[in-house]
Structure 1
Amino acid sequence: MARSRLLPDNFTLYLVTTVVLASLLPASGRFAQALEVATTVAVSLLFFLHGAKLSRQAIVAGIGHWRLHLVVVASTFVLFPLLGWALRPVLQPLVTRDLYTGILFLCALPATVQSAIAFVSMARGNIPAAVCSASASTLLGVAFTPLVVGLLLTQNAAMGDPLDAMGRIGLQLLLPFIVGHLLRPWLAGFLQRRASVMKVVDQGSILLVVYAAFSHAVIDGLWTQVPLSALAGLLVVCAVLLGLVLTITTWSARRMGFSKEDEITIVFCGSKKSLVSGVPMANVLFAANVAGAIVLPLMLFHQMQLMVCGVLAQRYARRTADSPAAPKPALPKGDTRAG
């Protein structure tokens, strides 16, 4: 079981295939223009459906645990950025400048929803609190991510005005999310019966954006600017970052006296970074010619967090086998682990 968690999932294989396709056949001309419109529509539809799928009851069930939520938010939007900034003199020489910009962008992203909840469930953690924290992180990311990226990359010309970016992210991501959630009473049943529809939109929209971003980057010479040594260095940087965050969140949860179920929720919600939110945000925040290099660290970190947290969740499950588990509401259906 643990060995299977170390293997790439199907979605990761789709991502790799998309990068290869963009490298060999990058979109250009009118096709690239049409692709840009298609990605905008697909991403808006994705967040519309995520809003419709979000259970208000699950949020209410976990919202009272404010200490836990503050720790998760602090890990997501304070600890990660501080580590990325503080370690820059040590870690940036391992990669290229654009790749480390992608690392700093990764540090500013919100947490995942689906995969975080799935791992908390596997480890027998506090699922209502996980649903609340992960969902709140996605919404807070609309405001926090552009501001944090703006602070970390004050000298980066590839990024525009953070406030302008916040408005565009709100229009493309938050507005469809809110509209979808308001229409949840009419759409929830359909989405539960048609989980495959959610999966296609979920994965398809991300693959479209990745293909568009890498097409721009390849045309501008991405692979001639990123040597193999930098890719190896990127693996080290992502491993160091993930290892530090997992260690710090675990230590902090125990030091602050949280229960084992709450510790599990803090560790898995506070250490995740969302591919679903990150790829569209990179497309909004950065110039097209650097977006490919910006999302490359996120793609690698995404797979690494799934593999490491899969093993960690099983260890937690064994450790808590004799202790009472937190109440378990139904998990979101159609989890593609793409969050």
Structure 2
Amino acid sequence: MNLINKLKQEWFLVGMVAAMALAIVTPDWGKSEGILHLDTITVFGIALVFFLHGLGLSPKAIVEGVSNWKLHLFVQCATFVVYPMLWVIFGHGFLSFMPAALAFGFCYLFVLPSTISSSVAMTAIGKGNLPGAIFNASLSSIIGVVITPLLVQFFMGMEGAELNLVESVLSIAKMLLLPMVLGQLMRPLLFEWAQRHKAVVGKLDKYVILLIVYSAFCDSIEHGIWRDFSTSLLITSTLICFIVLLVMVHGIQWGARRVGFNHQDEVAAVFCGTKKTLAAGIPMAKVIFDHNPNLGMILLPIMLYHPIQIFYCAVLANRYAKVELPSATSPNH
């Protein structure tokens, strides 16, 4: 019974494994222009998810977090400077021992923006600077619309991979940013409705991600991408994701203390600066890499990294929650 309860709690991770397994036996169903037409359905699903993200963002909390410039600079540099430097340092090493599509998957992981929901949730659990976390997670998503495809073009272009940068940025903005802005505009009218249906609304993004994962793996299996992919390479990829997370979490902790952050700002910095978004990362990949049959392998690093970051950061958030704070502590500005 404990195992069943645990599987129910982790239904999303179970669902990702199930989606990959289902793709093995039914690739014709979920492939691009396949029986289910998921390539069309998921476009509308993604727009709806980011509309609901915009609906849920509190303008007041974002405004409250604006003035802490030191925290914002620290977090955005961690996300869009330090992480990409990992590819600069280790990229050629990745390309030398793993398939190019998987190596580029790690490059893509490193240039993704932060998450919104889990960064904010972990910061709240760890007694961190919540307005600062909301502002930084939201800012990261907006910056990522431009920076992520720009960095993909810069790094992968050096290896001979090309994409239409302007078209990618416009497509991502239309798919993610526009629905989010519309959600904010509709917040006065629909927020109460969203709160009443929170149980369904809160899971919708995960349902859409599962459909995209299934579709991507159907495409990759249809094109025979996984035939030469070994178990040892999968284990190695998982270990790399775990090591990267450890290095970033403890590096950001060290850096936050060196620049004089208090507990609240350190917590926000750790959880906003180390997270990488699966919710935006998968739909962005569909735009950036278009109908690339290697998409399943490119997405593998973020799919491995996501559960690892959730698990490890949840443990860390609980540790932060136990820290005794002085009663007069307030965020640094």
* Selected match of 2:317 from 292, 313, 317: 313
Whether 2:109 is the aligned partner of 1:133: answer no
SS in 2 for 1:153: helix
Normalising by structure 2, report the TM-score: 0.91
State the shift of 1:33 in Å: 7.1
Contact 1:250-1:263 at 8 Å conserved across structures: yes
Question: How many Å separate the matches in 1 of 2:243 and 2:32?
Answer: 40
Question: How many Å separate the matches in 1 of 2:288 and 2:281?
Answer: 10
| CA displacement 1:80-108 (0-9 Å, x = unmatched) | 00112212244444532211101110111
Q: Amino acid of the residue matched to residue 269 of structure 2?
A: I
Question: How many Å separate the matches in 2 of 1:74 and 1:48?
Answer: 27
Distance verdict in 2 for CA 1:36–1:258, change over 3 Å: same
Contact 2:102-2:301 at 8 Å conserved across structures: yes
| CA displacement 1:292-320 (0-9 Å, x = unmatched) | 111111010001101111111122222x2
The aligned residue for residue 289 of structure 1 is 293
State the shift of 1:323 in Å: 3.3
State the shift of 1:222 in Å: 2.5
State the shift of 1:121 in Å: 1.3
Contact 1:49-1:177 at 8 Å conserved across structures: yes
Whether 2:151 is the aligned partner of 1:151: answer no
Whether 2:18 is the aligned partner of 1:14: answer no
| CA displacement 1:189-238 (0-9 Å, x = unmatched) | 11111112313421111111111111111111122132112101101211
Question: How many Å separate the matches in 1 of 2:329 and 2:211?
Answer: 38
Aligned counterparts, 1:1-339, within 5 A? 9-26=10-27, 27-28=30-31, 30-31=33-34, 34-155=37-158, 159-286=162-289, 287-318=291-322, 320-324=323-327
Question: How many Å separate the matches in 2 of 1:29 and 1:15?
Answer: 19
Contact 2:20-2:214 at 8 Å conserved across structures: yes
Q: Amino acid of the residue matched to residue 19 of structure 1?
A: M
Question: How many Å separate the matches in 2 of 1:32 and 1:99?
Answer: 28
State the shift of 1:254 in Å: 0.7
Distance verdict in 2 for CA 1:283–1:29, change over 3 Å: closer
Q: Amino acid of the residue matched to residue 318 of structure 2?
A: Q
Question: How many Å separate the matches in 2 of 1:308 and 1:29?
Answer: 35
Unaligned runs of 5+ in 1: 329-339
Contact 2:31-2:215 at 8 Å conserved across structures: no
Deviating beyond 3 angstroms after TM superposition, the runs of 4 or more aligned structure 1 residues are 89-95, 155-159, 322-328
Q: Amino acid of the residue matched to residue 17 of structure 2?
A: V
SS in 2 for 1:288: coil
State the shift of 1:143 in Å: 1.0
Distance verdict in 2 for CA 1:8–1:327, change over 3 Å: farther
Distance verdict in 2 for CA 1:291–1:313, change over 3 Å: same
State the shift of 1:325 in Å: 8.3
Distance verdict in 2 for CA 1:220–1:124, change over 3 Å: same
Unaligned runs of 5+ in 2: none
Cα-Cα RMSD? 2.2
Comparing 279-288 with 31-40, greater Cα deviation is found at: 31-40
State the shift of 1:29 in Å: 7.1
Contact 1:239-1:304 at 8 Å conserved across structures: yes
Q: Amino acid of the residue matched to residue 102 of structure 2?
A: L
Q: Amino acid of the residue matched to residue 281 of structure 1?
A: M
Question: How many Å separate the matches in 1 of 2:245 and 2:95?
Answer: 16
What is the aligned length?
A: 323
